[in-house]
Amino acid sequence: MGYTDVDQLAINTIRILAADATFKSNSGHPGAPMGMAPVAHVLFNKIMNYNPKNSSWVNRDRFVLSNGHACMLQYALLHLCGYKLSMDDLKAFRSVDSKTPGHPEAHDTDGVEVTTGPLGQGFANAVGLAIAQAHAGGEFNKPGFELINNYTYCFLGDGCMMEGIASEAASIAGHLQLGNLIAIYDDNHISIDGDTNCAFTEDVALRFKSYGWHVETVEDGNNDLQAIEDAIKKCQAVKDKPSMIKLKTIIGFGSKLEGTHGVHGAPLKADDIKQLKTKFGFNPEESFVVPQQVYDIYNEKGAKGAALEKEWEQLVSKYAGSHKTEAADLKRRLAGELPEGWEKNLPVYSPSDSPVASRKLSEIVLQAIHDVVPELVGGSADLTGSNLTRWKEAVDFQPPATGLGDWSGRYIRYGVREHAMGAIMNGLAAYGTVIPYGGTFLNFVSYAAGAVRLSALSQVRAIWVATHDSIGLGEDGPTHQPIETLAHFRALPNCMVWRPADGNETSAAYYVALTSKHTPSIIALSRQNLPHLENSTLSNAIKGGYVVHEAEKADITIVSTGSEVGIAVDAVKYLKDNHNLTARVVSIPCFEVFDAQAKEYRLSVLPDGIPSLSVEVMSTMGWERYTHEQFGLNRFGASGAYKDVYKKFEFTPEGIAKRAVATVDFYKDVPNLRSPINRAFQQLI
Amino acid sequence: MGYTDVDQLAINTIRILAADATFKSNSGHPGAPMGMAPVAHVLFNKIMNYNPKNSSWVNRDRFVLSNGHACMLQYALLHLCGYKLSMDDLKAFRSVDSKTPGHPEAHDTDGVEVTTGPLGQGFANAVGLAIAQAHAGGEFNKPGFELINNYTYCFLGDGCMMEGIASEAASIAGHLQLGNLIAIYDDNHISIDGDTNCAFTEDVALRFKSYGWHVETVEDGNNDLQAIEDAIKKCQAVKDKPSMIKLKTIIGFGSKLEGTHGVHGAPLKADDIKQLKTKFGFNPEESFVVPQQVYDIYNEKGAKGAALEKEWEQLVSKYAGSHKTEAADLKRRLAGELPEGWEKNLPVYSPSDSPVASRKLSEIVLQAIHDVVPELVGGSADLTGSNLTRWKEAVDFQPPATGLGDWSGRYIRYGVREHAMGAIMNGLAAYGTVIPYGGTFLNFVSYAAGAVRLSALSQVRAIWVATHDSIGLGEDGPTHQPIETLAHFRALPNCMVWRPADGNETSAAYYVALTSKHTPSIIALSRQNLPHLENSTLSNAIKGGYVVHEAEKADITIVSTGSEVGIAVDAVKYLKDNHNLTARVVSIPCFEVFDAQAKEYRLSVLPDGIPSLSVEVMSTMGWERYTHEQFGLNRFGASGAYKDVYKKFEFTPEGIAKRAVATVDFYKDVPNLRSPINRAFQQLI
Query: Which pLDDT does position B307 carry in this prediction?
Result: 98
Q: Are residues B483 and B628 in the same domain?
A: no
Does B468 carry a binding-site annotation?
yes
Confidence check: pLDDT of B609 > 60: yes
**By the 8 A CB rule, do B426 and B459 touch?**
no
B491–chain A Cβ distance below 8 A for any pair: yes
User: Is A677 a member of any domain?
Assistant: no
CA dihedral over B500, B504, B506, B509, signed as positive or negative: negative
The verdict on A211 touching B (C-beta cutoff 8 Å) is: yes
Cβ of A122 under 8 Å from any chain B Cβ? no
Residue A69 reports pLDDT greater than 70: yes
Helix (H), strand (E) at residue A129: helix A121-140
Q: CA-nearest residue of chain A to B400?
A: A198
Task: Give me the half-sphere count of Cα atoms (radius 13 Å) on the Cβ side of residue A246.
Answer: 15
Q: Residue A112 and residue A121: Cα distance in Å, rounded? A: 14
Q: Tell me, what's the pLDDT at B262?
A: 93
Least CB–CB distance from A117: residue in B174, B479, B683: B479
A120 in any annotated domain: yes
Q: Report the CATH number that the domain containing residue A401 is assigned in CATH.
A: 3.40.50.970
Average confidence (pLDDT) over A442-465:
98
Helix H, strand E, coil C: the string for B219-241 is CCCCCCHHHHHHHHHHHHHCCCC
The answer to whether A383 contacts chain B (CB < 8 Å) is yes
- Domain end: A307, A325, A358, which one? A307
Rounded distance between C-alpha atoms, residue A677 and residue B3, angstroms: 72
Residues 65-84 of A with CB under 8 A from B: 68-69
pLDDT at B107: 87
Mutation site for A-interface testing, chosen from B93, B476, B527 by largest number of A Cβ within 10 Å: B476
Which residue, A643, A642, A646, A644, is CA-closest to A631?
Answer: A646
Q: What is the DSSP track for A18-44? A: HHHHHHHHT-S--HHHHHHHHHHHIII
Whether the per-residue pLDDT at B245 is higher than 70: the answer is yes
From the CA of A665, how many Å to the nearest CA of chain B?
A: 8
Look up residue A556 and give its DSSP letter: E
- Within a domain: A464: yes
3-class DSSP state of B416: coil
- The half-sphere exposure of B443 on its side-chain side, counting CA atoms within 13 A, is 27
User: In the A/B pair of chains, how many CB contacts fall below 8 A?
Assistant: 420
Listed residue (A379, A374, A394, A377) closest to A333, CA to CA: A374
Residue A397 C-alpha, separation from nearest chain B C-alpha, in angstroms: 10
Contact A487 B489 (CB under 8 A): no
Integer angstrom CA distances of residue B248 from A192, A669, B35, B251, B253: 40, 70, 9, 10, 12
Q: How far apart are CA B75 and CA B78, in angstroms?
A: 5
pLDDT above 90 coverage of chain A, percent: 99
Give the one of B172, B635, B679 whose C-beta lies nearest to A684's C-beta.
B635
Tally of domains in chain B: 3
CA A108 – CA B408 distance, rounded (Å): 49
B549 touches chain A (CB under 8 A): no
Verify that A13 and A113 share a domain, yes or no. yes
| Model pLDDT for residues B342-376, shown as the tens digit of each residue | 999 999 999 999 999 999 999 999 999 999 999 99
Same domain, A348 and A409: yes
Q: Which are the contacts of A153, defined by CB distance < 8 A and separation ≥ 6?
A: A43, A47, A48, A61, A62, A63, A64, A126, A182, A183, A184
Give the Å distances, CA to CA, from B327 to A61, A451, B321.
64, 47, 9
DSSP assignment of A255-284, as one string? STTTTSGGGTSSPPPHHHHHHHHHHTT--T
The count of residues in chain B is: 685
Q: Is A444 annotated as a binding residue?
A: yes
Separation of first and last alpha carbons in chain B: 52
Query: Which of B29, B484, B558, B581 best tests the A interface by mutation, with the highest count of A CBs <10 A?
Result: B484
Measured CA distances, B201 to A154, A381, B195, B426 (Å): 23, 15, 10, 30
Positions of A marked catalytic: 418
Determine the pLDDT at residue B289. 98
Inter-chain CB proximity A168 and B175 less than 8 Å: no
Angle at A447 between CA A616 and CA A543, to 5 degrees: 40
Taking all residues of chain B, what is their mean pLDDT, rounded to a whole number?
97
Rounded distance, CA B494 to CA B619, Å? Answer: 21
pLDDT of residue A490: 98
Is the domain of B173 the same as that of B237? yes
Confidence of residue B2 (pLDDT cuts 50, 70, 90): confident
Beta-bridge mates of residue B218: B247
> Which residues are CB-neighbours of B142 under 8 A, at least 6 positions away?
B319, B322, B323, B326
Residues B286, B414 within the same domain? no
Mean pLDDT estimate for chain A: 97
Buried b or exposed e, range B359-390, using 16+ CB within 10 angstroms? bbbbbbbbbbbbeebbbbbbbbbbbbbbbbbb
CA quadruple B359, B364, B367, B369: dihedral sign: negative
Q: Is the dihedral of CA B64, B66, B68, B72 positive or negative?
A: negative
Contact B640 A94 (CB under 8 A): yes
Taking the Cβ of residue B125 and every Cβ of chain A, the question of whether any pair is shorter than 8 Å is answered with: no
Last residue of a domain, one of B263, B292, B307: B307
| pLDDT above 80 for A142 | yes
Active-site amino acid positions of B: 418
Half-sphere exposure of B512 (CA within 13 A, CB side): 31
Residues of B in contact with A97 (CB under 8 A): 638, 640, 648
Which residues lie below 8 Å from residue A11, measured CB to CB, with a gap of 6+?
A: A37, A38, A41
Mean pLDDT on B304-322: 98
Burial class (CB in 10 A: 0-12, 13-18, 19+), A140: buried
Q: Does A574 touch chain B (CB under 8 A)?
A: no
Q: Give the C-alpha distances (Å, rounded to integers) separating A119 from A159, A161, A220, B378, B608.
A: 6, 8, 25, 22, 47
Nearest CA in chain B to A659: B681
Q: What residue numbers bound the domain in which A658 lies?
A: 545-667
Q: CA torsion angle for A284, A285, A290, A294 (degrees, to 10)?
A: -40
Question: Average pLDDT, stretch B96-106?
Answer: 97
d(CA B549, CA B544): 16
Q: Are B202 and A176 in contact (CB under 8 A)?
A: no
Question: A309-350, pLDDT tens digit by residue?
Answer: 999 999 999 999 999 999 999 999 999 999 999 999 999 999
Tell whether B525 and B592 lie within a shared domain.
no
Residue A232 located in a structural domain: yes
Residue B107 resides in a domain = yes
Segment B629-679, tens digit of pLDDT: 999 999 999 999 999 999 999 999 999 999 999 999 999 999 999 999 999
Question: Which pLDDT tens digit goes with each residue over B68-92?
Answer: 999 999 999 999 999 999 999 999 9
User: 3-state DSSP: chain A helix, strand, coil percent, rounded to 5?
Assistant: 45, 15, 45
Calculate what percentage of chain B has a pLDDT beyond 90: 99
Q: How far apart are the first and last CA of chain A?
A: 52
What's the average model confidence in pLDDT over B180-196? 95
- Same-domain status, B158 and B288: yes
ipTM score: 0.98
The count of other CB atoms within 10 Å of the CB of residue A346 is 20
- The rounded distance, in Å, linking the Cα atoms of A526 and B659 is 40
Q: Is B639 annotated as a binding residue?
A: no
Q: Does the distance separating the beta carbons of B382 and A417 come in below 8 Å?
A: no
Q: What is the 3-state secondary structure (H, E, C) of A57-104?
A: CCCCCEEEECCHHHHHHHHHHHHHHCCCCCHHHHHCCCCCCCCCCCCC
Final residue in a domain of this structure, among A488, A505, A530: A530
Q: In chain A, what is the greatest distance between 2 CA atoms, to the nearest angstrom?
A: 90
Residue B586 lies in a domain: yes
Residue A580 sits in a domain whose CATH number is 3.40.50.920
CA distances (Å), A505 to each of A371, A494, B125, B222, in order? 21, 20, 40, 49
A254-270 residue pLDDT tens: 999 999 999 999 999 99
Contacts of A568 (CB under 8 A, 6+ apart): A548, A558, A560, A585, A615, A656
Rounded distance between C-alpha atoms, residue A302 and residue A227, angstroms:
24
Chain A residue numbers touching B444 (CB-CB < 8 A) = 118, 450
Q: Residue B467: in which H helix or E strand, if any?
A: strand B463-467
| Nearest C-alpha neighbor of B16 from the set B104, B97, B80 | B80
What pLDDT was estimated at residue A671? Answer: 92
State which amino acid sits at residue A345: N
Asked if A290 and A348 sit in the same domain, the reply is no
- Asked if residue B383 is part of any domain, the answer here is yes
CB contact under 8 A, B621 and A490: yes
Percent over 70 (pLDDT), chain B = 100
Across the interface, do A479 and B118 touch by the CB < 8 Å criterion? yes
Backbone angles phi, psi at A259, to 5 degrees: 80, 5
Q: What is the mean pLDDT of residues B525-532?
A: 98
Residues A191 and A265 both lie in one domain: yes
Q: Which residues of A touch B491 (CB under 8 A)?
A: 483-484, 487-488, 619, 621-622
Q: Domain check: are B494 and B557 in the same one?
A: no
In a domain, A328, yes or no: no
Q: Please tell me whether residues B566 and B470 are part of one structural domain.
A: no
3-state secondary structure of B464: strand
Best CA proximity match to B437, nearest among B369, B357, B527: B369
Distance (Å, whole) CA B465 – CA B478: 20
Q: Is A172 on the interface with B (CB under 8 A)?
A: yes
- Asked if residue A173 and residue A54 are part of one domain, the reply reads yes
Residue B1 has pLDDT above 70, yes or no: no
